[in-house]
Amino acid sequence: MVKEWVCRKSCNECCGNIAFPKAVFEKNRGKIQRPIFEELELDGEIYPATNDGVCVFNKADCRCAIYPDRPEVCRLYGTIPDLKCPYVDPRGVARTPAKVRRTQREINKRVTAQIKQIEKMRVD
Ligand code: SF4
Ligand code: SF4
What tens digit of pLDDT does each residue of 18-31 get?
Answer: 999 999 999 999 99
pLDDT, residue 6, reads 84
For ligand 2, is residue 50 a contact (CB within 6 Å)?
no
* Whole-number pLDDT of residue 121: 84
In this structure, are 93 and 63 located in the same domain? no
Q: Is the CB of 55 under 6 A from ligand 2?
A: yes
Looking at 71, 93, 111, the residue that finishes a domain is 71
Q: What is the pLDDT of residue 102?
A: 97
107-112 long-range contacts (CB < 8 A, ≥24 apart) are 110/82
Those residues of the chain that have pLDDT short of 50 are none
Evaluate: CB of 25 within 6 angstroms of ligand 1.
no
- Any atom of ligand 1 within 6 Å of the Cβ of 20: no
Nearest CA to ligand 2 atom 2: 64
Number of domains in the chain: 2
For residue 3, being part of any structural domain is answered with no
- Give residue-wise pLDDT tens across range 39-58: 999 999 999 999 999 999 99
The pTM of the full predicted model, rounded to 2 decimals, is: 0.88
Ligand 1 pocket, residue 88 CB under 6 Å: yes
Contact assessment for residue 34 and residue 52, using Cβ atoms and an 8 Å cutoff: yes
Structural domain range at position 101? 77-124
Residue 10 forms part of a structural domain: no
Instruction: Determine the pLDDT at residue 114.
Output: 87
Q: 36 alpha carbon to ligand 2 midpoint, in Å? A: 15
